[in-house]
Amino acid sequence: MSEGVEWALHSCVNLAWSGPDRAVSAARLAAWHALPPAYLNKQLQALARAGILTSTPGPRGGFRLARPLAAISLMDVVAAVEGPDEAFRCAEIRQQGPGGGAPDGAGAGAGAGVGDAAADAADCAIAHAMIRAELAWRRALAAQNLDEIRQQAERQAPRAPERLRAWLAAQ
């Protein structure tokens, strides 16, 4: 997973702390954590395309949350930044090299031949394990929302929202 996911998650919490009526530019959000503004802007634009943020152009423009943190899951942010594709893609290397083809006994009597990649992939123990792990990971991310993250962050650093608002107001 790219560091852009971490940056996007922090930016969402920071936008919540900045206040509902305040648009914050990508440059200001980036400066708060000493991040490269252009790269953070790409992550924020991805969040806007996904409907997580809204973007207002112009010198007084910036980004705002499009919906409450409680309505944004960690998976929403990951999918917006990383895309919806699976993390693991079975390349069927079992079919390559001198050991290529169906393993001994695989597909026997089921009509699955050596060239039947779909049937072979369905029988791949590694692909099955990786698919199960990714599904569990995605479900765990979907089950946690950004408001829960905000609350935990505030327990760990109770003055963080106040510090951010003061810093934004001073600029």
The residue that leads in pLDDT, 149 or 59, is 149
Q: Select from 16, 6, 7 the least CA-distant residue to 150.
A: 16
Domain boundaries, the chain: 1-72+145-171, 84-144
Q: How confident is the model at residue 122 (pLDDT cuts 50, 70, 90)?
A: low
Is domain 1-72+145-171 in CATH 1.10.10.10, yes or no? yes
Q: How confident is the model at residue 120 (pLDDT cuts 50, 70, 90)?
A: very low
Q: State residue 102's pLDDT score.
A: 61
The model's pTM is: 0.81
Q: What's the pLDDT tens digit per position in 25-73? A: 999 999 999 999 999 999 999 999 999 999 998 888 899 999 999 999 9
d(CA 54, CA 25): 11
Backbone angles phi, psi at 56, to 5 degrees: -115, 120
Tokens of 115: 């060239």
Per-chain mean pLDDT for the chain? 87
Q: What's the pLDDT tens digit per position in 75-88? A: 999 999 999 888 88
d(CA 129, CA 115): 23
* Length of the chain measured in residues: 171
